[in-house]
Structure 1
Amino acid sequence: MKLLSAIALIASVQAGLRFPCSTLTIQRLDPVVQPGISPSAHVHHIVGGNAFNATMTGDVGARATCTTCQMSEDFSNYWTAHLYFKHPTNGSYHRVPVVPVQPLLGGSNGAQGGLTVYYTQFDLSRDNLAQQPIMAFKPGFRMTVGSPTATSRSHVGLNYQCLTGGSRGALQATIPDKPCSGGIFTSHHFPACWDGKNLDSADHQSHMYNTVDTDYFNNAPKCPSSHPIRVPQVTFETTWDTTKFNSLWPSGAPNPFVWSFEGSSYGTHADYMFGWKDDSLQRAMDKSECFYDGCGSIQKQAMSVANQCKIPDMVGEETDGWLDSLPGTMA
């Protein structure tokens, strides 16, 4: 997607939030899928509030005291598996650095690594907003999208793009099979229809419903009666700086980039845990004809302040540098 196309997308969306979150920590922790287990099965890249730990229940936003996100009232946590480079010759692994997603307008705003988060009212398109007002998530809400065990595309909103020059390239269901001069860009779009009852479900997905089908940017129909509540459409975007490994990728050799669980690239997945303070997210979702900042309804912080938010290493293992094997094994 070229920059001009991205700017056109803003105009079509018309309302919502888009903001950077710096990296909070990179550890083997997963309080949604493997609560209370430390370390979890594989390494995750985590951003957001400093209440993050192996076990998280209740109102996360009430417990956090800082956040790596630009929106100062957002103490939610967002995480994905981490990308690694597997050396084609000796089989060793190296963590791929994360760099800030280049905003659609302006510079990186001082973010350190991290990812960019969207909360939109239109499924990144036009939606039946007039018929379905957006309801913000409730304290304790969580969800996942995708699965590390997937061997085929499990959700249309899970995409890769090969960054070359000023272009993001075409959406792809799997990791690009050739070197990308600007890195690899990943998107994780979550469903936007909620059953209105359950803050979670056994598989962390059944309480949600996705109304978008073959083309993610098509119009989405109204939420079904089984999941009647339209919630904000959450999206993560991450830029993986694969460029420093391109010279180690022999011409014609298979793709050497793997997720921290190493399975199929269809296994890309993400987790979300709601943690906005009070009614701050609802205030932003009640606005219209405005993008990026919620029309001033919620407060921003300087990324220099956000970058100071950290949590300790709770696992105590090396996840970077050249490793003989990936940390942990997939459960």
Structure 2
Amino acid sequence: MLALFKASLAAGLLIQSAQAVIRFGCSQLVTERFDPLVTPGQVAPHVHQIIGGNAFNLTMNPSDDYSELATCTTCRFKEDKSNYWTAVLYFKHDNGTYIRVRQKPNHLVGDPEGGFTVYYIAGYPPFQPVTAFPKGFRMITGNPMIRTKSERDLDSVESYAITFRCWDEDQLASPWVGSNQHAPGVGKYDSVGLPDRFCPGGIRSSIFFPSCWDGKNLDVPDHHSHMAWPLGRVDERLGIIFHEGTCPESHPVHVPTILYEIAWDTGFLKDVWPKDGRQPLVMSMGDPTGFGQHGDYVFGWEGDSLQRAMDNCKDAFGAPETCQDVLTVLTDEEMNSCRKATEIDEKVEGEYISALPGCNPIQNGPEPATMVPNCDAVSTTIAKAAPTQIPV
């Protein structure tokens, strides 16, 4: 299995001989309208899918140590109680109802239920040292309100940060054919917005975070200006993983590059996909373009475990098995058994629903999306939390 993993990752991500990387799958913790970074203490405007430690909550105080508060994690390494979350993808039926598009396991990450894949990448040039995030660190990448490609600086590293790849059927079965031989965020295989056609093998969304920290602020009001993208341009043949730049003077501390990969299982929509060519997918914030895709991160690794992993896990392919002398590798069963009950009394997945949860009418742009005033959606939590439902 390890040999197969290495062969596929060498072909699919072009990481061989480039840098140390930790790559691991995480199952779903909970799916609900919580966002403790943007709307702490309040029900969030749109639905997120959350993975990681079960200490995730409506309010997450930066002074708390979530590696100690969490009793389990949905991620592959026991020491990682961090939380990672993104928007949810929905399909709009011709009759006007919506259903959440389920996630499937990414290539060669085991059998997590839902969730997505996380990478910690040391960076380029090969195996350069990086500084692990400190306790209390958090950040956001992307902007849920944008609806047009022109909002991005196409000459910057950031322009490659959030992309989508349409998988054909053969790529569903084989991780080293077709577009999987190319790194994320480059060339003809990736788009900044949602694909404009049916993808029988699924859609992979890649979300990169900036890797240059100011070395001072664990967080800032906008949750991103304490971070910066590396200088220099990206080789469009190789992608953001191989960025040629260094950190700017304003943000001199090189931290690991975090990457999320979400594999959406769109194959089950074949029989209900619109015959007129209309693009029926929409993200949970009412975004049919995909330009507003975003990711949130709250650090929660135990002690110095992340620094030890980045210093010692030198396998360029990121297989968890090669890091088991440094970190504790959990089984699929252990990951999948970690769950957090939802605390909002509303249906968000598992069946067709009449509207996107929250007040999220579809806003096509090109102007930025706006919040709906006087929203009458559920805005309180319930006294008795309900079990999390895995989408069907």
Q: How much does 1:243 deviate? A: 1.2
The residue that corresponds to 1:138 in the other structure is 134
- The correspondence for 2:54, drawn from 44, 50, 60, is 50
Matches within 5 A, 1:80-159: 80-87=86-93, 89-103=94-108, 108-122=109-123, 126-127=124-125, 130=128, 133-153=129-149, 154=152, 155=158, 156-159=160-163
Identify the match of residue 29 of structure 2 among 24, 35, 52: 24
Deviation at 1:8, TM superposition (A): 5.9
Q: CA RMSD in A?
A: 1.9
Pick from 310, 314, 322: which aligns with 1:289? 314
- Aligned counterparts of 1:277 and 1:230: Cα–Cα separation in 2: 20
Task: Indicate the larger mover: 209-218 or 60-69.
Answer: 209-218
1:73 is the counterpart of 2:100: no
CA contact (8 A) 1:128 1:221 kept: no
2:33, 2:179 → 1: CA distance?
30
Separation in structure 1 between the aligned mates of residue 284 and residue 268 of structure 2, nearest angstrom: 18
SS at structure 2 position matched to 1:11 = coil
Aligned residues of 2:212 and 2:254 also touching (Cα < 8 A): yes
Aligned to 2:359: 329
Match for residue 236 of structure 1 among 260, 284, 292: 260
Which runs of 5 or more structure 2 residues have no equivalent in the other structure? 1-6, 153-157, 172-177, 181-188, 361-370, 372-392
Q: 2:194 aligns with which of 157, 161, 175?
A: 175
The Cα of 1:63 is off from its aligned counterpart by: 0.9
Q: Is the 8 A contact 1:16 1:284 kept in 2?
A: no
Q: TM-score normalized by structure 2? A: 0.77
Task: Give, in angstroms, the shift of residue 148 of structure 1.
Answer: 0.9
Match status 1:270 vs 2:289: no
- 1:180–1:139 Cα change, 3 Å: same
**Partner amino acid for 1:142?**
R
Identity %: 41
Residue in 1 that maps onto 2:68: 62
TM-score (norm 1): 0.91
Shift of 1:4: 6.6
Shift of 1:213: 4.0
Residues 152 and 5 (structure 1), Cα distance of their counterparts in 2 relative to 1, 3 Å cut: farther
Q: 1:69–1:303: 8 Å Cα contact kept in structure 2?
A: no
- Distance in 1 of aligned mates of 2:140 and 2:79: 22
The structure with the largest alpha-carbon Rg is 2
Q: Number of residue pairs matched?
A: 319
Question: What amino acid maps onto 1:74 in structure 2?
Answer: D
Do the aligned partners of 1:128 and 1:222 also contact (CA within 8 Å) in 2?
no
Indicate the larger mover: 214-223 or 13-22. Answer: 214-223
Q: State the partner residue of 1:194.
A: 213
> What SS does the aligned partner of 2:270 have?
helix
Counterpart-to-counterpart distance in 2, 1:289 and 1:277: 20
Counterpart amino acid of 1:119? Answer: Y
Aligned runs of 1:5-20 on 2, under 5 Å?
6-7=11-12, 9-20=14-25
- 1:322 positional shift: 1.0
Query: Which of the pair is proportionally richer in helix?
Result: 2
Runs of 4+ deviating beyond 4 Å: 2-5
Partner of 1:118: helix, strand, or coil? strand
Q: Deviations over 1:14-69 (max 9, x none)?
A: 412000100111111001111111x2111111100000011002222121110000
CA–CA distance in structure 1, aligned partners of residues 295 and 104 of structure 2 = 18
Paired with 2:319 and 2:247, the residues of 1 have a C-alpha distance of 25
**Equivalent residue, structure 1, for 2:275:** 251
Rounded Cα–Cα distance in structure 2 between residues aligned with 1:42 and 1:300: 33
Q: Distance in 2 between matches of 1:70 and 1:289?
A: 18
Letter in 1 for 2:329: K
Unaligned 5+ segments in structure 1 are: none
The 2-side partners of 1:219 and 1:61 are apart by: 32
